[in-house]
Structure 1
Amino acid sequence: MTTYDSLRANARIQRNPKVVWDFLRFARTMDLKAYVYVRPVEGPPFDLARLAARPGEVLEVGVRRVTDPAGFDATRPPFIELLSGQPGVGDSWELEVVKGKDTAGLTVGMTVYQDRQAADAAIGALREHPTTAAYFATFEPVALQYATSTTNH
C-alpha cells in the first residue's frame, strides 16, 4: 500500500519511465487480484505507516464486488458493529475505489486485529451469524489478504 497526496501526484510519478519499469518488473512477481486506488469514506483517520504496525497486529484487507448496493449499504453497519464488538478487534474502514482496472462495483474494507488469535476468534464467532450471512450475500469476494508488520516499528 502506498499513500499519495492526490491522483495528480500519482500521475506525475508514473510519468517517470524508470518507476513504471520497476513497477512492471515487481508486478510480474505477484498474482494481482485487484490493483486499485482508494480513498477512505468511513472509519477514523489513519496513518498508513502506523496501520497495524505494533508487533503481532493483523491487518485484513478485503476487496469485494458489490452485487446488491442497497443491501450492502443496509447490512454493512450492523456487520461492522457486530465485528467491532468482538474481543481484540480494532478499527475498521470502508474505502471507495476511485481508479483502477475493472472497478465497477468494487469496494475495499480494512480491519485491524490485536493479533492472529483475535482475528481467528472473531472470524469463527461471526462465520455462522445471520448478520454476517446477510452482509456477505451482497457482494462477491475478489481478494482477501491478511498482513502483519515485520519492519515498521
Structure 2
Amino acid sequence: MRSYNYEKERDSDIEFWLKIAEYYKKLNYKVYIIPDTDNINDESHRQKLSQFAFLEECALIMNYRIAIYEIAKVNFFPHSGTAAASQLNKNSASVTHLKTHDHMPNLSKKFFNDIGQTVGENYKFLCKNHKIYWNGDTNGIIEEANKIIGIKG
C-alpha cells in the first residue's frame, strides 16, 4: 500500500484495494497487506483493512518482501517502486494498477508515450505472469488477476 507525502495522486485508493481484497477473501484466499515503508503505521489503512494481516517485516526487509512475492498466487500494486521487485522476478506474478494524471508531468499519458511506453500496453520487459492495468476499475483488475491465477470467470 502506497502512503507517502510525495505525489499523493499515486497513493493507494483504499476503497479500490479493499474491494479487491474482499473479493479474494470470499474465494478463500489469504490476503496480506504490505504497508508503505515510509508510513508503516498508517492508521487510515489499518482501520479500513483491519480484517487482513499486515506484514510489517516485509515492508522493512527486502528479502522477506521478495519471498512473499514469490509465494503469493498474485501480487497487487499501485504505481510504486516496490512493484519492480515483483515485476522483475520471473518466480512472481503481479498486476500493477497504473493511473495516469495529465496534470503531473511524469504521470501523464504524453510522458509515457514520449518515453516509448504506450499507455494501455504492458511494459515490454514483463513476462506473461505480470500485467500493467492502466486507469481501470476493480472489476478489470480482478479479471486480469484471475487470468494469471487461472480462475475462470
When normalised by structure 1's length, the TM-score is 0.25
Structure with higher Rg: it is: 1
Greater per-residue helix proportion? 2
Greater fraction of residues in strand? 1
Tell me: higher relative CO, structure 1 or 2? Use CA pairs within 8 A at least 6 residues apart. Answer: 1
